[in-house]
Amino acid sequence: MIYKLLFPLPLLALLTACPAPDGKKPPVFGPQQEAEIYTAYGTEPFWDLEIGPKTTKFSGLGIDERVFETPAAKLSFNGTRYPSSQITIDITKTKCNDGMSDREFGDTVTVEIGKARYRGCGGNPLPPEKLDGTQWQFEQIGDKAAAAESLDRKSSLQFTDGQMSGSVGCNQFSESYSFENGTLTVGPMRSTRMMCRGILGEQEMIFSKLMATPVKVRFNSDGDMVLTDETSKVKLSRSF
């Protein structure tokens, strides 16, 4: 004889709503993930967009901030569409250049509010295809934020015509470099020989030691560049 276990509907709903064993909520699949904020912006005129799970905010230069109920997301050709009678948003998976800072993004975004139509870029900035021609600002060296004194002394890192040059905030350095398959290799760095005291000296030593051997290069979702080896890391933000 085969027995079936029957649960009352309220109990069954409670059982199926239980969290995952690790205590985290089960993932929500679809064009919009739960609790995520999608951002986009444009120029001419300047505007900003935030799409949240429940509300969508739109504001701009000379435009008062408006808040809408986030429309239900629908898959569209090569992207996602949020249609409603108040605001319609189209996100297309095509590269977009913001036209100002020369950054590239993975999405092209169009917003329609009434008769007004705005076009811009959305999602995370794309990493550069090559390092040559890029400039960076030190944000973190080792496990500490780049020293305030370093920022005052215009710490920077730039890649120009096969040369890497810059300063952590004290000495100036320069050397040839190669960048292949996510690995940055720099020759013995030539630098000035000023005495660097305190945190500036410590951070310059960490960076010099890091660059003495090939390092791995990755880019995070904000477009920051992270240089790492087995013992240390340096994070830099892109300068435009």
Give the per-residue pLDDT at 154. 75
Give the per-residue pLDDT at 217. 96
CA pair distance 214, 190, nearest whole angstrom:
17
Give the per-residue pLDDT at 7. 36
The highest-level CATH class for domain 135-239 is: mainly beta
Average of per-residue pLDDT across 195-214: 92
Note the pLDDT tens digit of each residue in 187-199.
Answer: 888 999 888 889 9
Give the per-residue pLDDT at 124. 86
Most confidently modeled range among 5-19, 99-113, 215-229 = 215-229
The CA R_g of the chain, rounded to the nearest whole Å, is 24
Give the per-residue pLDDT at 98. 76
Note the pLDDT tens digit of each residue in 32-63.
Answer: 444 589 999 998 889 999 999 999 999 999 88
pLDDT tier at 133 (50, 70, 90 boundaries)? very high
Give the per-residue pLDDT at 152. 65
- Give the Cα-Cα-Cα angle 181, 220, 51 (nearest 5 degrees): 135
- Please determine, for residue 22, whether its predicted confidence score (pLDDT) is greater than 80: no
- Please determine, for residue 102, whether its predicted confidence score (pLDDT) is greater than 90: no
Q: Which of 144, 140, 169 is nearest to 154 (CA)?
A: 169
Instruction: Let me know: does 79 contact 90? Beta carbons within 8 Å.
Output: yes
**Over the chain, what is the mean pLDDT?**
84
11-20, 84-93, 123-132, 133-142, range with the lowest pLDDT: 11-20
What are the extents of the domains in the chain? 32-125, 135-239
Q: Which residues have CB under 8 Å from 198's CB, separation 6+?
A: 147, 149
Q: Tokens representing 6?
A: 């029957």
Which has more confidence, 19 or 102? 102
